[in-house]
Amino acid sequence: MARKSSNSGGFLFKSGVFAVLAGLAFWLFNHFGGKKTDTPIDEKPPIEIPDSSDKPATPVSESQVPQSILPKSSGELVEHTWFSLAYNEDHEQAEWVAYELTRTRLNENWAERPNTFRPDAAVRTESATPRDYSGSGFDKGHLCPAADMAFDATAIDETFFMSNISPQQPAFNMGIWRELEELTRDWARKFKKLYVVTGPVFSGNAQQIGFSKVSVPSGFYKVLLAPDQLKTIAFVLPNSMSDKPVMSYACNIDRVEKSTGIDFFPNILNGLNEELEASLDPEAWPVNAGRQEQRIKVWNLKRE
Tell me the pLDDT tens digit for each residue of 166-200: 999 999 999 999 999 999 999 999 999 999 999 99
pLDDT-derived band at 10, boundaries 50, 70, 90: very low
5, pLDDT greater than 80: no
Q: Is the pTM of this model over 0.95?
A: no
SS3 content of the chain, % helix, strand, coil (to 5): 35, 20, 40
Q: Are strands 84-88 and 76-79 parallel, antiparallel or unpaired?
A: antiparallel
**Does the residue 46 lie in any domain?**
no
**Does the residue 61 lie in any domain?**
no
Q: What angle do CA 95, 161, 179 make, to 5 degrees?
A: 70
**Does the residue 264 lie in any domain?**
yes
Tell me the pLDDT tens digit for each residue of 30-86: 444 443 333 333 333 332 323 333 333 333 468 899 999 999 998 999 999 999 999
pLDDT recorded at residue 24:
53
**Does the residue 20 lie in any domain?**
no
Residue numbers of the domain that contains 244: 67-302
236: β partners: 221
Number of residues that this document lists for the chain: 304
Output the domain CATH number for residue 296. Answer: 3.40.570.10
Does residue 186 contact residue 288 with C-beta atoms inside 8 Å? Answer: yes
Q: Residue 162: which of 219, 212, 117 has the closest Cα?
A: 117
pLDDT recorded at residue 302:
72
User: What region, left, alpha or beta, does residue 185 occupy, with left being phi > 0 and alpha being psi -120 to 50 degrees?
Assistant: alpha
Tell me the pLDDT tens digit for each residue of 215-236: 999 999 999 999 999 999 999 9
Catalytic positions, please? 142
**Does the residue 3 lie in any domain?**
no
Q: What is the mean pLDDT of residues 259-286?
A: 93
What is the rounded CA–CA span in Å between residue 163 and residue 176?
A: 22
Three-state secondary structure call for residue 6: helix
What is the rounded CA–CA span in Å between residue 85 and residue 97?
A: 4
**Does the residue 288 lie in any domain?**
yes
The total domain count for the chain is 1
Amino acid symbol at 207: Q
pLDDT recorded at residue 30:
45
Tell me the pLDDT tens digit for each residue of 106-132: 999 999 999 999 999 999 999 999 999
**Does the residue 9 lie in any domain?**
no
pLDDT recorded at residue 146:
98
What is the rounded CA–CA span in Å between residue 173 and residue 136?
A: 15
Query: Environment class of residue 119 by beta-carbon count within 10 Å: exposed (0-12), middle (13-18) or buried (19+)?
Result: middle
**Does the residue 7 lie in any domain?**
no
